[in-house]
Structure 1
Amino acid sequence: MLPRRHALFVAMLFPLVALAQSTYPDKPITLIVPFPPAGVADTVARPVADALSRELKQTVVVENRAGAGGALGMGTVARAQPDGYTLLLGLSSISILPEADKLLGRKPQFTLDQFTPIARFTADPTVLVVRAEAPWRTLADFLADVRRKPGTYNYGSSGNYGTMHVPMEMLKAAADFRMTHIPFTGAGPAVVALLGGQVDALASGPATVVQHIKAGRLRPLAHWGDRPLAALPEVPSLTQAGYPVQFAQWSALFAPAGTPDEVVQKLRAAARKAAADPAVQQTIATAGSPLAYLDAPEFKAYWDADAAVMTQAVKRIGRVE
């Protein structure tokens, strides 16, 4: 039993904690994007941050903190004070990187239980793209050529074991061909490298490449989905071509584990309204990523299932230095 003075202190403390939570947020919020500007996470984060600012009546500042295939920024949020003032706009690579660290004999920079899921905003199958002047007009052309010249061509990605690396390795295994992997610090730099001729192909979320496709600079050959893409309805799926591999590059909002439930509920409510905001929907759809919103409970179930698939994919890829 607590001494009387301790009991009085605890009794006085509870209202203060409740008051702190009920006034959330009373200062600006940082939304960390663990990749450089121009990638999928950044494309989603900026309109979402604007909408969250309106809903929460507080500034939400987007901070790009790239490095280690996204692990640097994700680890920063995992270790942040769980008070709702440091949030993460993460991609599906969040499920991949801890398993990759273990495979490489390193201590993971974060674990999945260090995050509280708030909401999923998008879930886009990756798209195989090449430069418009490339000799490959179809997936069949591409595969025939890379098989004839194993190791001659290369592909770019946002980093080892990231959401542009894993789907290409899945396709390589299914279609039996070899290409050299060239990792970059994010999707944006990888796309710039493709446009500049430093790499020959890449797998990317539609939001990162659709503008270049429409401008005639890139050519899509196939996608990793199970139904036509809204932004690119004429592009066939790999499954249609006889290669049953699927991969979705999703984006979602997370808080550090241990964030008070009242704060989490406020963030969920704000995220729900942000997802219903026509301006957010239009901005994200125009970028090539139609909204695929899931609230926290549904998203957690989806995330658990997806993480199990990604863990197996990483193990199949094996050790990559």
Structure 2
Amino acid sequence: MRKLAITAAVVAAAALALTGCSGQQTPASTGGAAADTVKDVQIIVPADPGGGWDQTGRAISKVVVDEKLVGSAPVTNIGGAGGTVGLAKLANEKDPHTLMVTGLVMVGAQELNASASRIADTTPIARLTEEPLVVVVPKDSPYKTLKDLMQGVEKDGQKVTITGGSAGGADHILAGLLLGKAGLEQADIAEKLNYVPNSGGGEAVTMLLGGNAKAGISGVGEFAEFVKDGSLRALAVSSDEASPLLPDVPTITDAGYDVVLTNWRGVLAPGGITAAQKAALTKLATDFAASDAWKAVLKEKAWTDAFLAGDEFGAFVKENVTDVTKTLKNIGLVQ
């Protein structure tokens, strides 16, 4: 079952959760156009180093080169505004053999930032993974449970700084959803939630370890090593079952809040490329996603294989934009 990532009990938007398949798809037809070959590919990571998008982009680069699918795959980081700065770069990209990492964070950010560049103007290539989020606090935090943290925000409001990824992204959405399930009205969420966004996961860790944030939300893979070494303490994960990386951490549902949220990631190409160029990039994504090297990355990072390509992925993105926009409105992040 493919999750939009928010349970129906949380917001009405989740009623539109999509059913999909993780099996790999046949690349799009070239419509009789001359075949295109991807000899080299450039990869845009629309975030600063250290976060999930950066890890994804660099993993793709290593796999496609190691598997000799392309000759080179340089990675360029273009952080800012939840990926919409990178999205603007993609909109003006002249090299058709370009892949940009994308995901739920960008879907929300384009709405929150009223971005002129839109995902709808790009060429969807493939969804690759999904990953649960984890709520953490510094090791000496007085908040021992997720309930403690929610009660702290309800009582102390803006004094309880929560840090995570970009504004309007999965981390921000989860913070709003949790406060909604804790009983706060939409207006109260907007008043009490002090969410400090970052362009990369490394910045959130720095804030937490430096005592500049009371709690953090990010992908399990970004915080797991700090939880394991005792620097951070995990309160709950956002999946519907325990994460392999943090098997002893309860789910948010187990902690008493009916919320399930997974953060999908995939790749886009520039808009306006030919059918043959789209087919070649889709084949490249299909080939690396089927490789043993990529499967090893999934295992190492505890990312769930959520491969979907071609027109099916395009339809998923379109509906995800609609659903996330409704969710952002329901929790008061956009009008």
- Common topology (TM > 0.5): yes
**Unmatched runs of 5 consecutive residues or more in structure 1:** 1-16, 103-107
Cα distance in structure 1, aligned partners of 2:315 and 2:244: 25
> C-alpha deviations, 1:78-97, integer Å up to 9, x for none?
2322x532220112122222
> C-alpha deviations, 1:66-122, integer Å up to 9, x for none?
1122110122112322x53222011212222232234xxxxx231222122211121
Cα distance in structure 1, aligned partners of 2:46 and 2:248: 32
**Offset, 1:247:** 2.3
**Offset, 1:137:** 2.5
Partner of 2:76: 63
TM-score w.r.t. the length of structure 1 is 0.83
Letter paired with 2:174: P
Paired positions, count: 295
Partner of 2:25: none
**Offset, 1:264:** 1.8
Secondary structure of 2:167 counterpart: coil
Matched, 1:128 2:167: no
Greater shift in the superposed pair: 28-37 or 291-300: 291-300
Partner of 1:37: 49
Contact 1:281 1:290 in 2 (8 A): no
Contact 1:69 1:186 in 2 (8 A): no
**Offset, 1:310:** 1.0
Partner of 1:235: 249
Contact 1:119 1:299 in 2 (8 A): yes
Instruction: Give the alignment's Cα RMSD to 1 decimal.
Output: 2.4
Greater shift in the superposed pair: 148-157 or 38-47: 148-157
Matched, 1:25 2:38: yes
Task: Return closer, same or farther for 1:315/1:145 CA change in 2, 3 Å cut-off.
Answer: closer
Contact 2:152 2:160 in 1 (8 A): no
Cα distance in structure 2, aligned partners of 1:239 and 1:275: 31
**Unmatched runs of 5 consecutive residues or more in structure 2:** 1-31
Higher Cα Rg: structure 1 or 2?
Answer: 1
Cα distance in structure 1, aligned partners of 2:274 and 2:179: 44
> C-alpha deviations, 1:247-276, integer Å up to 9, x for none?
221110111122222222222222122122
Cα distance in structure 1, aligned partners of 2:318 and 2:242: 25
- Structure 2 counterparts to residues 221-300 of structure 1, below 5 A: 221-300=235-314
Secondary structure of 2:90 counterpart: helix
* Aligned mate of 1:159, from 162, 166, 172: 166
**Offset, 1:43:** 0.9
Structure with greater helix percent: 1
Greater relative contact order structure (CA < 8 Å, 6+ sep): 2
**Offset, 1:213:** 1.5
* Aligned mate of 1:215, from 229, 237, 257: 229
Task: Return closer, same or farther for 1:242/1:298 CA change in 2, 3 Å cut-off.
Answer: farther
